[in-house]
Amino acid sequence: MYSVNINIDNSELENFIQMKYGDKKNSLVSDIVSYLETESHIYKIKKAFDEVEDYKAGKIKLTSAEDFLKELRSEN
């Protein structure tokens, strides 16, 4: 088992977390992990759109879809 301490220097945010989660630390950690996973997916989608724009602008050459997917997966 592990222990994590998070110090929040914002009383309004502290109160919100305390009211929403109380002593349910597992729920809080689960929600944080879900948020981070979502942000990771958003980053990958944005990167894909950025690469399409770079291709349209002639900055990069088109590779196969398989190579592109391998590159995205390699960032995990």
Q: Is residue 15 part of a domain?
A: no
Note whether 51 and 60 are within 8 A (CB): yes
Q: Is residue 50 part of a domain?
A: yes
Q: What is the pLDDT of residue 60?
A: 84
Q: What is the pLDDT of residues 23-69, one digit of tens each?
A: 898 898 899 999 999 999 999 999 989 988 998 899 988 778 888 78
Note whether 18 and 12 are within 8 A (CB): no
Which run of H or of E encompasses 60? none
| Residues of the domain holding 31 | 25-73
Report how many domains make up the chain.
1
Mean pLDDT check: name the lowest of 7-11, 16-20, 56-60, 71-75.
71-75
Q: Is residue 9 part of a domain?
A: no
Q: Is residue 44 part of a domain?
A: yes
